[in-house]
Structure 1
Amino acid sequence: MRPLEGITVLDLTRLLPGPFGTMFLGDLGAEVLKIEEPGQGDYARWYPPQINRVGARHLLLNRNKKSVTLNLKKPEGRSILLKMVERGADVLIEQFRPGVMDRLGVGYRDLQKV
């Protein structure tokens, strides 16, 4: 058994710092659910070098993760994220600028309510 088995992490990070940290959580056994915006998803998906048209950096940083696309700017996307939190997510990691999660309606106070 790995140390973080049974822990669920919602990963709203992108590029390098956040995905690097959540990669280790997945390596240690956590179930990491990578949440990407519709369209291009995480920008690292497109950075060269690519393997089968997916950025090698993205493949490395997002190993041991499941992926889902949610548009948090739409009520449906916010609702799904809140349901994921309600159903037992233990950790939510994001790296938006200050205030963005609040403006999207999924800030700390919103998450506390579920």
Structure 2
Amino acid sequence: MHPLQNIKILDLSRLLPGPYCSMILADLGCEVIKIEEPETGDYTRWMPPFIHEESARFLAVNRNKKSVTLNLKTEKGKAIFYNLVKKSDVILESFRPGIA
């Protein structure tokens, strides 16, 4: 039994601080759903070092998470995102000011 097992988090963060935060929360039992943009995904997917063509950095901070690709610029992507939001307890993001 994990202390945060009934908490659902949508993680829109990138690079290291946000994914590290959600990694700790996932380790404590939260269900973390990582939202990535199509084609590129999280930037750390492309950062060395690589293990069997996968970024060790990405694998380390995104363990215990589910992942989904959504284009939040389309109506369909927004509809799916809003549906996920309704079922979530926390939204974690790391956008710069003015970006939504």
TM-score between both structures, scaled by the size of structure 1: 0.85
The 2-side partners of 1:18 and 1:33 are apart by 13
Quick check: 1:39 aligned with 2:39?
A: yes
**TM alignment of 1:10-89, pairs within 5 A:** 10-86=10-86, 88-89=87-88
One-letter code aligned to 1:80: I
The 1-side partners of 2:15 and 2:33 are apart by 16
Runs of 4+ in 1 over 2 A off after TM superposition: none
The 2-side partners of 1:41 and 1:53 are apart by 15
Tell me the residue number matched to 2:95: 96
Structure 2 spans left out of the alignment, 5+ residues: none
Tell me the residue number matched to 1:112: none
Identity in percent: 58
Instruction: Tell me which of the two structures has the higher relative contact order, counting C-alpha pairs closer than 8 angstroms and 6 or more residues apart.
Output: 2
One-letter code aligned to 2:2: R
TM-score between both structures, scaled by the size of structure 2: 0.97
Structure 1 spans left out of the alignment, 5+ residues: 102-114
Q: Which has the higher helix share?
A: 1
The 2-side partners of 1:49 and 1:96 are apart by 25
